[in-house]
Amino acid sequence: MQDYARKLRRGGKQVGFVPTMGALHPGHLELVRISRKQNPFTLASIYVNPLQFGPKEDFKQYPRQLAADLRLLAREKVRAVFTPSDKEMYPEGFSSRLQVTGPLVAGLCAPFRPGHFNGVATVVVKLLGATLPTRLYLGQKDAQQVAVLRQVVKDMNLEVQVVACPIVREWDGLAMSSRNARLSPKGRRIAPILYQGLLAGKIAVKRSESKSSKVLGAIRRVIAGEKKVQLQYLEAVDPVTLAPARLIRPGTMLALAAHLEKVRLIDNIIV
177 touches 169 (CB < 8 A): no
- CA dist list (Å): 197 to 114, 166, 261: 27, 19, 18
Cβ proximity to ligand AMP, 69 vs 215, nearer residue = 69
Binding mask 31-60 vs ligand AMP (x if CB under 6 A, - otherwise)?
Answer: x-----------------------------
Bridge partners of 81, per DSSP, are: 44
Secondary structure (3-state) at 153: helix
What residues have CB less than 8 Å from 49, skipping those under 6 apart? 21, 89, 119, 120, 123
Q: Which stretch binds ligand AMP (CB under 6 A): 126-134, 152-160, 167-175, 213-221?
A: 167-175
* Min separation Cβ 217 and ligand AMP, Å: 27
Binding mask 99-138 vs ligand AMP (x if CB under 6 A, - otherwise)?
Answer: ---------------------------------------x
Q: Which residue's Cβ lies closest to ligand AMP?
A: 139
Judged by CB under 6 A, the residue of 8, 16, 20, 118 near ligand AMP is: 20
Please report which helix (H) or strand (E) contains residue 30, including its range.
Answer: helix 26-38
Let me know how long the chain is.
271
28 is catalytic: yes
Is 142 a binding residue for ligand AMP by CB under 6 A? The answer is yes
209 touches 254 (CB < 8 A): no
Interacting residue ranges for ligand AMP, rule: CB under 6 A: 20-21, 27-28, 30-31, 138-139, 141-142, 165, 167-168, 175-178
